[in-house]
Structure 1
Amino acid sequence: MHSNGGNQVRRRAVIGALGAGAATALAGARPAVAAPPGGDGRTFPRTLAARGTTGTARPGFAVQTVGVRWPAHARTARLRFAGRDGRWGGWRTVAEGCPAGAGDDGPATERLALMTAPGSPAYQLDLPAGARAVALNATDGPALPGTPTVGGDRTRLAGRVFLTRSAWGADESLRFDAAGAERYPATYWPVQTFTVHHTATANDDPDPAARMRSVYRYQAVELGYGDFGYHFLIDEAGRVYEGRWSGGDMVPGFDPAGYMVNASHVGGYNAGNVGVVLLGDFVQREPTPAARTSLTLLLAALAGWCRVDPLATVGYVNPISGLRRTVPAIALHRDWAATECPGGTLAALMPGIRTQVAAVLADPHRAALFAG
């Protein structure tokens, strides 16, 4: 690692100054004893999904999101939605979102998109050869069995509102195949880098937890990732969400020793690379101040926990495949692959965010300046 003058961090001081939530979530393990299923009385719907091909699709539920995947060098895909009155809207080009990517053998070779739909009863697809699509609805399905909560559901992380998997309604059955085997068994690796993404879904989302459930279903099952591709997610209100499952008695995203659970957010470069994604599209629009604050404080807490200099340049080496790449310690998805992710406006803000992260690490009490 080549330092640009960033400060060496002291884990205990940094985490402690970032607030009790960060100290609990990043410096200690969760209690090993889980509360009874549905301990807080909440229930969540099972995410409905129906696959589609070129032509008209009527999935039998109101379409909220359409996930599309197509070969990297294929022609552009198009779709359009029917209104509740049955009239068709105009054709929309499927704009590529975060390409994510499972595995550590090589870069992703597909283009991916999550298109937000207006609760449509039907949609039409014009897909290139080899493309696949799935319609999703995360609010109208049958209720899931009560989700077990661990440690009473932590509510703060890095001083910000935090939702565990049980708090946003993760369907844990999606992590297992029909035979009950875990689709993507957890492995843990020392942290080398952090990577920032955007979901490229609609801004001003009225129900971000539902969007979380849709993205989770799409990545875990349709894309074969076996779980969420990202470790942490941030919505427009600045709430932080637990992404990939890391173990029932472990800190979110990590084991108690500080090794990250391997995920699926940068194809070919996942092991040792923590993924943080902002919900929304930041190609032309900036993240909200609340989302930016949460990103700054979360990255500061994580960098402090993992002893990573946020202003450094890292010679990343994939511990599984040996693939190498020189990237910033706090990287953007576009630093790893040919993608617009996390959008031009967010990318333009990242130098300032890295500087703010370093300032918090140098003087953790400055976190209050960013938290407001």
Structure 2
Amino acid sequence: MRAPLSSLSAVGTAVLLLPLLPAATAAAVPDPGPRSAPRGKPAGATSSLPLSLDHGRGSGRGASGLPARTVEPFSLVGVVWDDADEPLVGRAQVRTRAVDDGAWSGWRTLDVHPGVSPDERAGERTTGQLPGATAPLWTGPADGVQVRVVPGGPSPRTGGDTAPAQRRLPDGLRVELVDPGPEPADEAGEARTTEGRGPAEPRTDDTSLPALSREQTQAEYPGGGGHAGPRPRITTRKGWGADERLREPDSAYTGETKAAFVHHTVTDNAYACSQVPSILRSIYRYHVKSLKWRDVGYNFFVDKCGNIYEGRAGGVAKPVQGAHTYGFNTDTTGVAVLGTYTSDQPSPEAVGSLARLTAWKLGINGVHAGGTTTLVSEGEKYPQGEKVKFRTVSGHRDGYNTECPGAKLYAKLGDVRTAAAKLQGR
């Protein structure tokens, strides 16, 4: 069985600093502003740069990294290594240089987001061995990067300090720099963005599914047994500019959706909602090109303005198998709230949209959003084959040993269940 990815949030060893090169090795490049994607050409790109590797033979302590350098513009960064069975016991940190003003950020730790992965027997098609990886970090447009990785610290399995012989870094360490590409163009050739502090206004084209009343929803989805919540507006993959040529052409489906697992993306909370399409294209590209998954892992995304986005392809009303809760990707849907909610409160708009989305998605399958259900484990936190009782709206941590979706968002799930059940007329 694939070993879980290690947590980078608690590391007991002192950080070994790599030699810091001059911060500004090249003049800052002016921000060109939004561009329209040329029709027929791929949007975005991924650059992979190997990290210098020192296993620290003889001392048990080694450092790995990339000196400060100028690179092609990117907006998202992550660290990847060859084998997901080999955990990264240590801390990976990056600092980046902004395109607009040439300023370098401080060091930021890349957290490993454990349990966001295809199940062992899920049939997730990959090209070769499944790599290990950190969660991606959205940086905004940047053209400079520096990386340091220091091994050692608490064991990801026991929490105790690892032995010196175990403090080796995994092979194939590399930094992945993702350029999300330009904004998709509408028929007039103008770039589209999602502005404002609330859910965007409905559109009449195929970039979104319009909101439906409860009566319209029940007519559209008669299988919900009369308890389907009203469908909220959902921005489609076309709406956020997904390049469908990146993913596997087919989708995998499971049985009817029985539960929703709520996540956070462990990315920065200071994003503007107009940046969300770029963030989604970056995460999508990272999951597919860097992690070798068939598609983006989550079924849905919610931003802090309350906008809801289609994630993995295959139909928002269908039971598309995701790669979001290792061990419980079957008969479930995964919803990721953009941001980190360990110590920051989620916005009321995001919490409200979680309620609307789960009321609808669970409701069209006849599932009580305030109830419970039983799922069969594919292994990890619970033994393979074990039947486990869950709330129908659960947090990622309920199905996997992780802090996700953060303490503050997890504490709001009771409110989400109550509101969602009310929307279902229960």
Flag whether TM exceeds 0.5 (same fold).
yes
Deviation of residue 324 (structure 1)?
A: 3.9
Match status 1:80 vs 2:92 = no
Within 2, Cα distance between the matches of 1:80 and 1:171?
Answer: 28
Name 2:144's counterpart in structure 1. Answer: 122
Q: 1:165 to 1:355 in 2, by over 3 A?
A: same
SS in 2 for 1:101: coil
Query: Which of these residues, 316, 323, 326, is aligned with residue 252 of structure 1?
Result: 316
Q: Which runs of 5+ in 1 are unaligned?
A: 1-40, 177-181, 255-259, 364-372
Counterpart of 2:160 in structure 1 is none
TM-score, normalization: structure 1?
0.72
Q: 1:44-65 deviations in whole A, cap 9, x for unaligned?
A: 9712211123213757422211
> How far apart are 1:155 and its partner, in Å?
3.4
Match of residue 348 from structure 1? 411
Query: In 1, Cα distance between the equivalents of 2:50 and 2:238?
Result: 33
Question: How many residues get paired?
Answer: 305
Instruction: Please give the alpha-carbon distance, in whole angstroms, between the structure 2 residues aligned to 1:142 and 1:311.
Output: 38
Identity of aligned residues (%): 29
**Higher-Rg member (1/2):** 2
Who is 1:68 aligned against? 79
1: CA distance between counterparts of 2:184 and 2:209?
A: 26
Q: Residue 333 of structure 1: CA displacement?
A: 0.5
Structure 1 residues 295 and 98: alpha-carbon distance in aligned structure 2, compared to 1, 3 A threshold: farther
- Deviations, residues 234-268 of structure 1 (Å, cap 9, x unaligned): 1122111111111xxxx4150xxxxx011111122
AA partner of residue 245 (structure 1): A
2:358 is aligned to: 299
Give yes or no for contact 1:286–1:345 (8 Å, CA) kept in 2: yes
Structure 2 unmatched ranges of 5 or more: 1-37, 52-65, 123-129, 150-168, 190-203, 212-229
One-letter identity of the residue aligned with 1:72: P
Q: Secondary structure at the match of 1:345?
A: helix
Q: 8 Å contact 2:300–2:336 — kept in the other structure? A: yes
Shift of the 228–126 alpha-carbon distance from structure 1 to 2, 3 Å rule, reads same
Q: Contact 1:193/1:272 (CA < 8 Å) preserved in 2?
A: yes
| CA distance in 2: counterparts of 1:311 and 1:141, whole angstroms | 38
> CA-to-partner distance for each residue in 1:283-318, whole Å, 9 max, x for gaps?
111222211111111111112111112233332115
Q: Structure 1 residues 289, 57: closer, same or farther in 2, change over 3 A?
A: same
Structure 1 residue 110 displacement after superposition: 4.7
Equivalent residue letter for 1:102: P
**Aligned counterpart, 2:283:** 215
> How many angstroms does 1:95 deviate by?
2.6
**Are 2:259 and 1:193 equivalent residues in the alignment?**
yes
Alignment match, 1:272: 331
Are the structure 2 counterparts of residues 59 and 46 from structure 1 closer, same or farther at C-alpha, using a change threshold of 3 Å?
farther
Instruction: Give 3-state SS (helix, strand or coil) of 2:288's partner.
Output: helix
Structure 1 residue 192: deviation in Å?
2.3
Give SS of 2:76's match: strand
1:233 aligned partner: 301
TM-score under structure 2 length normalisation:
0.63
Bigger shift: 339-348 or 306-315? Answer: 306-315
The structure-2 alpha-carbon separation of the partners of 1:110 and 1:339, relative to structure 1 and needing over 3 Å to count, comes to: farther
Residue matched to 1:34: none
Give the root-mean-square deviation of aligned CA atoms. Answer: 3.4
Structure 1 CA distance for aligned equivalents of residues 232 and 140 of structure 2: 30
Residues of 2 paired with 1:81 and 1:237: CA distance? 26
8 Å Cα contact 1:242-1:253 kept in structure 2: no
- Residues 1:236 and 1:90: Cα distance change in structure 2 (over 3 Å): closer
Q: How much has 1:129 moved relative to structure 2? A: 2.6
- Note if 1:322 corresponds to 2:344: no
CA contact (8 A) 1:269 1:323 kept: no
CA distance in 1, matches of 2:234, 2:184: 26
Residue by residue over 1:310-345, the C-alpha shift from the partner in whole angstroms, topping out at 9 and shown as x without a partner, is 233332115897354332221111111111111111
